[in-house]
Amino acid sequence: MGAVRLESLQKFASVHDAFHNHFNKERHLNRASYRMARALNITPAKAQTLLFQYQLRNISEDDTDHEIMIAITTAKYQKDGDKLSFGVTSPLVKAALIAKMEEKGVFADISLSGNILRVDPGRFGALLTSLLSDS
């Protein structure tokens, strides 16, 4: 009887997490994206994609670098095993930061939600040093 309950609890937890994660993604959208989605009668995820594509075409590299520095300095960092975890909510900043990290040989694990990056602390420190010297 105990094994059946444990199996049921594990199944419930798995389904609950999947359900919660599916619907919780839209909560990470900022207010502007949500309003734009409502005004255009499209999903918030589609609005986020359109905003990202617009930003890729119209925001300069210097502005993107500035946004990366803001994201790095305002992020909340957390130790996650032997990795350092932090969140980046802007898809543009996340993509630019990942590209800069990969240029320096730092590869991040990306969470299921896509907003949390996990990196080796030593390699991330070297990346920060190079980013600060570049600016």
Does the pLDDT of residue 4 top 60, yes or no?
Answer: no
Residues 66 and 47 in one domain: no
pLDDT digits (tens, 9 = 90+) for 15-38: 555 554 444 444 445 676 777 788
Cβ proximity of 96 and 89 under 8 Å:
no
Whole-prediction pTM = 0.63
Share of the chain above pLDDT 90, in %: 1
* Whether residues 69 and 22 fall in one domain: no
| Average predicted confidence (pLDDT) for the chain | 78
Query: Is 3 a residue whose pLDDT tops 80?
Result: no
CATH of the domain at 79: 3.90.1150
Distance CA 85, CA 1 (A): 40
Residues 65 and 54 in one domain: no
Domain membership of residue 49 as a residue range: 1-58
Please give the single-letter amino acid code of residue 108.
A
127 and 83 fall within a common domain = yes
Which of 15, 39, 58 is where one domain is finished?
58
Distance CA 39, CA 61 (A): 29
pLDDT at 47 (0 to 100): 82
Of 13, 42, 58, the position where a domain reaches its end is 58
Task: Report whether pLDDT(130) > 60.
Answer: yes
Backbone angles phi, psi at 118, to 5 degrees: -120, 125
Please state the rounded mean pLDDT for residues 125-132.
82
Tell me: do 76 and 134 sit in the same domain.
yes
Which has the closest alpha carbon to 67: 44, 100, 37, 103? 100
- 31 & 94 share domain: no
